[in-house]
Amino acid sequence: MSAEAMTLFSPELAARLDALVERYPARRSALIPMLLYAQDEVGYLSDAVIDEVARRIGITPLDVRNVATYYSMLRFQPAGKFNVQVCTNISCMLRGGYKIFDRFQERLGIGHKGVTADGLFSLEEVECIGACCWAPAIQVNYDFHDELTEEQVDAILAQYRSQNAGGR
Amino acid sequence: MPRLVSHPDEVKIVTSRFGKGAAKIDTYLELGGYASARKALAEGAEWIINEMKASGLRGRGGAGFPTGMKWSFVPKQSAKPKYVLVNGDESEPGTCKDHLIFLHDPHAVIEGTIIAGLAIGAKMGFIYLRGEYRYLIQIVERAVAEAYERGFLGKSIFGSETEFEVIVQTGAGAYEVGEESALMESLEGKRGVPRIKPPFPAVVGLYGGPTVINNAETIATVPHALAMGGAAYAAVGSERNGGTRLFGLSGHIERPGVYELPMGYSLRKMIYEVGGGVRGGRKLKAVVPGGSSTPVLLPEEIDIGMDFDQVGKAGSMLGSGGVVVIDDQTCMVEFALRTIKFYQHESCGWCIPCREGTDWLKKSLTRFHAGFGTEKDIDNIQYIAENMMGRTFCPLGDAAAMPTLGFVKKFRKEFEEHLHGKPCPYAHHPEVELV
């Protein structure tokens, strides 16, 4: 293993990925979970991450890219530390999803797929996240926030700012 | 935490353990859990399949295919290993029922997977959840670990000679992967594009082996149907539509939420009694009865029972059970545009009629909604949609075309009101972004 690969992932992630490739009838089945878990830790699918995942599965980096570009959660540039994903699909739209999205745009000063200058937040308009009965809903990283109003937007941003200040 | 709702008309079978802490195995066992799997193990495959046929349970993903029959199609002898694949890639707009099942009753999904495995002679099952459901994936993974600790999964389940393994898999964002053959591709570590059928998954599926693919709600229903007895479960529902269904009421409804109601329950009562009517006392304009891919119904079309056959007769589909209620202040052109924008984004690009069709529909509707439409556009939208129908490997093309046709046919007047440079009369969000 290269020195770069040794430091690319934490020992915990490396161990997790080692276990992943062994559990399926075919190693390749580990590809999508591996990419997502690596992204969770590294922040995005850098060239080094793609090369390392390809090596672990035993396929070419090009093959990995071909698959990775299909999935909307996988990204090739860093997002903000807190990625705000606002659903504007029908059930959320009917209950003010676009107003929520507009408020986040205004407060963060960025648009769809934008990242704030301090790297703390990024914003995405996303498709249905499976919270239709608790609309409008957003996800910040993997956390759901349901039944939102525009007025709650500031409180949500403040919550993550203080989480960041607390070093958690 | 998503809010749980309740209504006296509900028949709580699949939701009976919701809010009771059944994600913990001890609580699940206290509430009767894993008894059906033990019984299924003792009785054998033929008994399971017969009970499932008697239950009248039909696929809750949307197609409504009878579960018992699906399982019976898997060949008894197979050179390649057989698999069970649970579809928890819940992504159809308007649908969030599996979200609650994974949150409140993950062991029911595991138990149903074991039973499906026993029915078809599989030694391995996969539970695939969409990647956005990370917190639910963690809940299901914990539940699987508990089931292994108790010996309910592993080399000798419940102390028998039978082996059954369960693997929880994460997706990474793709509606198309909810289509069964694309789901298999994704699980094999590939782009989620559909496979041509035949061969059907029951014959050639995951890793080339015979595979049964069921929706998470279907699988979570299985232990209950066996516990009640197939016939008793069937009796809860309507003719040829056994049992209950988790209906998700969303949109302009007073009391949104997931309600478990008998199959065949009146759509009018669902909206006006269970859901408390249209929000703010407004008038009903339209209802999308089964997730965004199902054709819209008008207020005069809601005196129907919500089962696969009756909604089908009314010209729509029961689909995923996601009932989206739309009030009279809504612009239907904008609604049609938002719907097609979704399908355009999610089309995997494999089949040209879908890839190009959704793109042209989005472009036409965007221009139309912005007030730059012409009379000819309305017919063109209909023409494009009609030419997508039935011309693709998987149903995504139909899922985009069907609702579009419904909007144009039933709300043509509203399309005409947008003509000749007129801005949207509702002016909600006239500049829906071109992403």
Domain ranges of chain A: 3-68, 82-165
What pLDDT does A7 receive? 83
Task: Find the closest chain A residue to B193 by CA distance.
Answer: A70
Q: Tell me the β-bridge partners of A144.
A: A139
Q: Do A112 and B172 touch (CB under 8 A)?
A: no
Across the range A1-23, mean pLDDT stands at 85
Q: Residue B280 domain-assigned?
A: yes
> How many A×B Cβ pairs under 8 Å?
154
Mean pLDDT computed over every residue of chain B: 95
Range of the domain at B307: 244-327
Tell whether B17 is covered by a domain: no
d(CA B202, CA A30): 23
DSSP class per residue in B155-174: SSGGGSS--BEEEEEE--S-
What is the third-level CATH fold of A3-68? Arc Repressor Mutant, subunit A (1.10.10)
- Quick one: DSSP state of residue B13? S
Top residue of A17, A94, A123, A147 to mutate, by most chain B CBs within 10 Å, is: A94
What pLDDT is attached to residue A156?
98
Q: Are residues B222 and B359 in the same domain?
A: no
Q: Are residues B380 and B280 in the same domain?
A: no
Look at residue B159 and tell me if it is in a domain: yes
- Judge whether B360 lies within some domain: yes
Q: Can you give the pLDDT at residue B308?
A: 97
Determine the distance from the C-alpha atom of residue B395 to the mean position of all C-alpha atoms in its chain, rounded to a whole number: 13
**Percentage of chain B with pLDDT > 70?**
97
The domain spanning residue B382 has which CATH number? 1.20.1440.230
> Between B175, B186, B250, which is nearest A127 by CB?
B175
Q: Tell me which of B433 and A156 has the higher pLDDT.
A: A156
Contacts of A73 in chain B (CB under 8 A): 131-132, 172-173
Residue length of chain B = 435
**Could you identify the residue written with the tokens 């609650």?**
B100
What pLDDT is recorded for position B426? Answer: 76
Q: Which two tokens stand for residue B94?
A: 């308007």
Spatial contact of B323 and B97, defined as CB atoms under 8 Å apart: no
Tally of structural domains, chain B: 3
CA distance A123 to chain B (A): 14
| Distance in angstroms (rounded) separating the CA atoms of residues B152 and B150 | 6
Strands annotated E in B6-149: 83-88, 124-129
Residues B276 and B408 in one domain: no
The answer to whether B289 faces chain A, any CB pair under 8 Å, is no
Same domain, yes or no, for B252 and B231? no
B215 close contact with A: CB closer than 8 A: no
What architecture does CATH give domain A82-165? 3-Layer(aba) Sandwich (3.40)
The residue-averaged pLDDT of A119-124 equals 98
- Counting every residue, how long is chain A? 168
* Mean pLDDT (chain A, rounded): 95
State yes or no: pLDDT of B435 exceeds 50.
Answer: no
Are both B141 and B74 inside the same structural domain?
A: yes
pTM for the structure as a whole: 0.96
Q: Does ipTM come in above 0.90?
A: yes
pLDDT, tens only, B149-207: 999 999 999 999 999 999 999 999 999 999 999 999 999 999 999 999 999 999 999 99
pLDDT (tens digit, 9 = 90+) per residue, A45-81?
Answer: 999 999 999 999 999 999 999 999 999 999 999 999 9
Q: Are residues B95 and B197 in the same domain?
A: yes
Q: What is the pLDDT of residues B54-94, one digit of tens each?
A: 999 999 999 999 999 999 999 999 999 999 999 999 999 99
Q: Which residues contact B74 (CB under 8 A, 6 or more apart)?
A: B82, B120, B121, B202, B210, B211, B212
The tens digit of pLDDT for each residue in B230-247 reads 999 999 999 999 999 999
Quick one: tokens of B349?
A: 């690009």
Euclidean distance between CA atoms B68 and B46, whole angstroms: 10
Measured distance CA(A100)–CA(A164) in Å, rounded: 22
Number of Cα atoms under 13 Å in the Cβ half of residue B256: 29
